[in-house]
Amino acid sequence: VTYQVAGPVAGPIVGMVGGGQLARMTAPAAVPLGIRFRVLAEAPDSSAAQVAAEVEVGDHRDPEAVARFAKGCDVVTFDHEHVPTELLHRLEDAGVAVRPGPAALVHAQDKRVMRERLTAAGLPCPRWRPVGSVADVVAFAGEVGWPVVLKSTRGGYDGKGVWTVGEERAVERVLGAAGGGLLVEERVEFTRELAVLVARSPCGQAAVYPVVETVQVDGICREVVAPAPGIAEDHALAAQQAALRVAGELGVTGVMAVEMFDTADGVLVNELAMRPHNSGHWTIDGAVTSQFEQHLRAVVDLPLGATTPHAPYAVMVNVLGGDYPDLYPAFRHCMARDPGLRIHVYGKQVRRGRKVGHVTVLGGDLDRLRERARHAAGYLRGEVTE
């Protein structure tokens, strides 16, 4: 990219729309590279606004606020997928480097667009169909069997906008309550959930991280193990190849996570996230290049970094809001018990079930790593008391 400011280290200015924990964790990754990092935050006290040197406060749905923010940046990228696609098309038409661009990003915003495109490209997906009525869903369930999974095409996150339904009356309830477009999928009998993180730059270079296992509880990611323990080599390779193909097909720039289901017959694509992702938090402590640095490198079109892990296993456990309004008092005990523990907190108001931080441990003994990471996450939220 061309950049605006010359200095002892004249680097580009990357602007991230959204001030959540992903922007917060991108800020320190910009520092060693001398990349100036700016954030368009929803509020002055949002997670990233607390740590980024250059913060603007504004609404990501407001075309003027986003355009004004973009004027001060060489590249615009995202902490979330909620900026309206149309707004981004207009920015791009006005000459702003939007990465990922709206033509790619829409596949992470709209599950129907994503399913259509991946199906057309021959990528393995669950059987699915767009639906508009109870009868559509019942007909689909007649073909694939109950239960089925209903999904809002837009706006879902952390399992909001996803409903498993076992009979017609449950379908009626969901259709009555959910606004907007819906699709239905077969309920996949997966053995586990996987995610593959890739990065792709405008020049077309791509890099892929090891396949990880993700554990979801009530639709929220709880735990990530890298690499996915005991994964068959052909499944891992197929998963990585599928993710690289998606990145190339869609012309993604930046980091993308492809969420997948592992099944007896191979891997199926669940959904896409075009930004750093919870399944890649382990890379901060556990890989040569963190996903946040990789995202920065990709959006400014620098060569990508090595994705090599530092240890045989990394285990990351999310800290969900629990009993303690303040996480800090628990640090002393966790740190004293486990000097190898890596703690990351997001500066967010603690609310029950909300992602407020994560912990990572690295090593070779997977059972022991799980015990250490779960203990720390449990202690931080007040679930474990010794």
Ligand X SMILES: Nc1ncnc2c1ncn2[C@@H]1O[C@H](COP(=O)(O)OP(=O)(O)OP(=O)(O)O)[C@@H](O)[C@H]1O
The answer to whether the Cα torsion of 266, 270, 275, 276 is positive or negative is negative
| Pair of tokens at residue 291 | 């996903």
**Residue 148 C-alpha from the chain's centroid:** 24
The least CB distance from residue 318 to ligand X, in Å, is 12
The least CB distance from residue 385 to ligand X, in Å, is 29
- DSSP-derived pairing of the beta strands 212-217 and 206-208: unpaired
Of the pair 58, 161, the CB lying nearest ligand X is at: 161
Question: Smallest Cα–Cα separation from 106: which of 116, 121, 93?
Answer: 116
Contact partner at residue 158 from ligand X, Mg ion, none, CB < 5 to 8 Å by partner kind: ligand X
| Amino acid letter for position 328 | Y
The least CB distance from residue 186 to Mg ion, in Å, is 16
Contact partner at residue 285 from ligand X, Mg ion, none, CB < 5 to 8 Å by partner kind: none
State the binding string over 258-277 for ligand X (x if CB under 6 A, else -). Answer: -x----------xx------
Contact partner at residue 188 from Mg ion, ligand X, none, CB < 5 to 8 Å by partner kind: ligand X
Interface stretch with ligand X, choices 21-29, 129-137, 153-161, 171-179 (CB under 6 A): 153-161
CA distance 200 to 183: 29
Task: Tell me how many helices (H) and strands (E) the chain has.
Answer: 12, 17
The least CB distance from residue 224 to Mg ion, in Å, is 13
The single residue among 188, 206, 215, 311 that binds ligand X, judged by CB under 6 A, is: 188
Cite the DSSP H helix spans in the chain.
21-30, 63-71, 85-93, 102-109, 111-120, 134-144, 168-177, 233-250, 282-286, 291-299, 331-337, 366-381
Interface stretch with ligand X, choices 180-188, 296-304, 316-324, 348-356 (CB under 6 A): 180-188
Interface stretch with Mg ion, choices 87-95, 96-104, 255-263, 340-348 (CB under 5 A): 255-263
Residues 155-174 binding ligand X (CB under 6 A) are 156-162
Of the pair 189, 367, the CB lying nearest Mg ion is at: 189
The single residue among 42, 56, 193, 285 that binds ligand X, judged by CB under 6 A, is: 193
Of the pair 271, 301, the CB lying nearest Mg ion is at: 271
Tokens 């599928």 -> residue: 242
Residues 268-297 binding Mg ion (CB under 5 A) are 271
Of the pair 70, 319, the CB lying nearest ligand X is at: 319
Q: Does 187 bind ligand X (CB under 6 A)?
A: yes
Residues 70-89 binding ligand X (CB under 6 A) are none
Contact assessment for residue 167 and residue 146, using Cβ atoms and an 8 Å cutoff:
yes
- In sequence order, the 6+-apart residues with CB closer than 8 A to the CB of 211 are 194, 195, 196, 227, 228, 231, 235, 236, 239, 240
End-to-end CA distance of the chain: 51
The single residue among 65, 134, 138, 149 that binds ligand X, judged by CB under 6 A, is: 149
Q: Crossing angle for the helix pair 85-93 and 102-109, nearest 10 degrees?
A: 170
The least CB distance from residue 379 to ligand X, in Å, is 25
What dihedral do alpha carbons 228, 249, 75, 80 form, nearest 10°? Answer: -50
Summarize as ranges the residues that interact with ligand X (CB under 6 A).
126, 149, 151, 156-162, 185, 187-188, 193, 216, 219, 259, 270-271
